[in-house]
Structure 1
């Protein structure tokens, strides 16, 4: 998967028009961010690229924050207020990098994007026909490449938008980790008498790892949450290992807590309620508006081919 994305980005013809989009989908904890990081490191070796990573800091509740984060990741300072202005700023930055001999590549983490945010993505990609932004001629548009790392439903959302679906050139689905991978995460071979460690403390037996893997549904984030709770329980019992008995008790407790809606269960799963304060952001397109929250700008991180940030 990493090799395919790297090859696609580094070998795609500069003159090719249309497309330019790749999507990587997977459940939370499936390794999307790890793959993004590895891809950014792989692309940093190529001097003809400008790799801009748009990280997820949990503050992407509004549409305007997405283009603002893209602008920041491309090395600019967003000043526009309307959707039209922000998109024009992002295009101008992409053109600047192209003129300097660096092809812009945007890697967007946790791309759980709404329909209007996907429209922003479409407007940043090269097109073969004009849209209502007629004062931006095609020969002035940059030719960026975008890779979206998002949840499983991202593929369906894009598929329902015919124009954007036609721009997808690469699709990858991250499979859930198996028992061996979760065992490696916990730190040791599965056939060891005490199968591993987490944070250098309690060790996990092979049976414990198998139960954690099955109970997490192949979700790395879920496996870490269960394993951490089991480790705390083992320490409380003054045990040096985590066995199947402890794991079964913890899994049952977590399920009961989640079923009853206990706040600590939500916190343990990484869930947090959010409330968006909304205003309207005009895209400048006929009948199209975006929703923008009056919240701080998400800061992206730009990585140059030579490793500078």
Structure 2
């Protein structure tokens, strides 16, 4: 039986259970609601948050739901779907997502990213939210670069929130303390 016949038979305007469902169409369960609440808290506090679950556990769906609920006049989402691009690629992505042209030299790119994040917050009144999906693939240098970006105003606050989303190995790596500040 063809897809079109199935849709016609059941009166569907589109196939159910697709990946492109609107967050409002999702089944709400306690784990999903808790993940959204944690993401929301992280965003409101301009903090670093970690969401982990096994493959297929709904992590990215929770991010979509939380992002949809944010006011675009007050927040800007910087979504990094593939973190295997290294520190330079990650910083370039952040700068470009905020509408700036990334500088060529890596030594100037980190300060440019920090300035772009701070300007978005201070000048435009929007809180950037860096969402790194598949964050278990981040290397130690990338984790350190993210941490350093959050050192703002003599470490008295951060002009943006970070949500690291990945498999349970991410939480295990973070617990090992390899990336702790010295």
| TM-score of the two chains, using structure 2 as the length reference | 0.67
- 1:28–1:159 Cα change, 3 Å: same
Q: Could you tell me whether the CA contact under 8 Å between 1:118 and 1:158 is conserved in 2?
A: no
1:158 and 2:174 aligned: yes
Q: Quick one: distance in 2 between partners of 1:151 and 1:76?
A: 31
Alpha-carbon displacement from aligned partner over 1:112-165 (angstroms, at most 9, x marks no partner): 2111111111111136xxxxxxxxx63898521100111211112222337648
Q: 1:92 to 1:142 in 2, by over 3 A?
A: farther
Distance 1:55 1:76, change over 3 A: farther
| Equivalent position SS for 2:87 | coil
- Give the length in aligned residue pairs: 145
> Structure 2 residue aligned with 1:35, among 57, 62, 66?
62
Segments of 5+ residues of structure 2 without an aligned counterpart are: 1-34
SS in 1 for 2:79: strand
**Does 2:109 match 1:86?**
yes
Is the 8 Å Cα contact of residues 77 and 129 (structure 2) preserved in structure 1?
yes
Q: Does 1:120 align with 2:145?
A: yes
For residues 155 and 84 of structure 2, the distance between their equivalents in structure 1, rounded to whole angstroms, comes to 31
Counting only pairs closer than 5 Å after superposition, residues 56-71 of structure 1 correspond to structure 2 as 56=82, 60-71=84-95
Q: 1:75 aligns with which of 55, 80, 99?
A: 99
1:49 aligns with 2:75: yes
Query: Is the contact between residue 95 and residue 113 of structure 2 (CA under 8 Å) also seen in structure 1?
Result: yes
Q: Distance in 1 between matches of 2:139 and 2:155?
A: 29
Any idea what SS the aligned residue of 2:114 has? Answer: helix
- The structure in which a higher percent of residues are helix is 2
**Residue 141 to residue 47, structure 1, CA distance change in 2 (3 Å):** same
- Asked which structure has the greater CA Rg, the reply is 1
Q: 1:21 maps to which residue? A: 48
Q: Output the CA distance in 2 between the equivalents of 1:147 and 1:139.
A: 19
Aligned twin of 1:240? none
Q: How far did residue 110 of structure 1 move?
A: 1.2
Per the normalisation by structure 1, the TM-score is 0.42
Structure 2 counterpart SS, 1:22: strand
8 Å CA contact retained: 1:63, 1:117: yes
1:90 and 1:78 mapped to 2: Cα distance?
Answer: 8
Task: Flag structure 1 segments of 5+ consecutive residues without an equivalent.
Answer: 15-19, 128-136, 166-309
